């Protein structure tokens, strides 16, 4: 059992000071994930990786305390929190009240959904929500790969599937999301 898992269990038991011991152990990994996600944002981004990590951490260890099975489960929750924060930010920026006008971003390659710097985060979120309704584990795989930056080996381990199955699911999910975004099937 890793130190992170022990501290997560202590947080679940309500042990005093456990949350203070967690941040130093996970901070650098969370910051690297945040920096990676923010690098996909358009130029002029004002949110810094440090601020994103702090927001994620507050959501994860705030009241009421949550419970995690292990380190992988914690980072999956962190990936989901990052996704939600970035989507909320994108929605705020695009709202008419804020002066933003929604425009469609053309996606030319299936990998652009995963690797491109100009991913339309709202369209991706809508497509991911639709995928989750159809296949929850597949959507979770995308969250772990895209938002947590985990390797296929790590995702396979967390989901209890083989590396080969994870690779196959990843290819299918990318194609599905690409189709949803490029065909505009996620538009309201």
pLDDT at 161: 94
| Cα distance between residue 48 and residue 20, in whole Å | 22
- Listed residues 83, 101, 119: the one ending a domain: 101
pLDDT in tens, 102-136: 455 544 333 434 444 455 788 888 899 999 999 99
85 and 140 within one domain: no
- For 47, the domain range is 1-101
Q: 101-131: string of b/e by CB count within 10 Å (b at 16+)?
A: eeeebebeebebbbeeeebbbbbbbbbbebb
- Number of domains making up the chain: 2
150 and 62 within one domain: no
38 and 109 within one domain: no
CATH number for position 120: 1.10.10.10
DSSP letter at 106 equals P
- Listed residues 74, 101, 128: the one ending a domain: 101
Q: Categorize the per-residue pLDDT at 30 as very low, low, confident or very high, splitting at 50, 70 and 90.
A: confident
pLDDT in tens, 78-105: 888 888 888 888 787 777 555 555 455 5
| Cα distance between residue 19 and residue 5, in whole Å | 12
- HSE at residue 83, side-chain half, CA atoms within 13 A, is 23
Average pLDDT over residues 145-156: 87
Stated pTM of the model = 0.53
3 and 95 within one domain: yes
């Amino acid at each position: 059992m890793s130190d992170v898992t022990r501290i997560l269990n202590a947080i679940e038991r309500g042990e005093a000071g456990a949350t203070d011991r967690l941040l130093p152990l996970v901070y650098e990994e969370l910051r690297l994930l945040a920096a990676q996600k923010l690098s996909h944002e358009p130029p002029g981004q004002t949110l810094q990786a440090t601020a994103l990590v702090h927001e994620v951490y507050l959501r994860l260890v705030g009241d009421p305390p949550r419970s995690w099975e292990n380190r992988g489960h914690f980072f999956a929750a962190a990936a989901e929190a990052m996704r939600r924060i970035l989507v909320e930010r994108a929605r705020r920026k695009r709202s008419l009240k804020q002066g933003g006008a929604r425009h469609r971003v053309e996606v030319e390659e299936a990998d652009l959904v995963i690797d491109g710097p100009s991913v339309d985060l709202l369209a991706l979120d809508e497509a991911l929500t639709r995928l989750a309704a159809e296949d929850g584990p597949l959507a979770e795989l995308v969250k772990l790969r895209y938002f947590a930056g985990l390797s296929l080996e790590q995702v396979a381990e967390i989901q209890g599937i083989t590396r080969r199955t994870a690779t196959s699911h990843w290819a299918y999910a990318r194609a599905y999301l690409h189709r949803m975004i490029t065909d505009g099937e996620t538009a309201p």
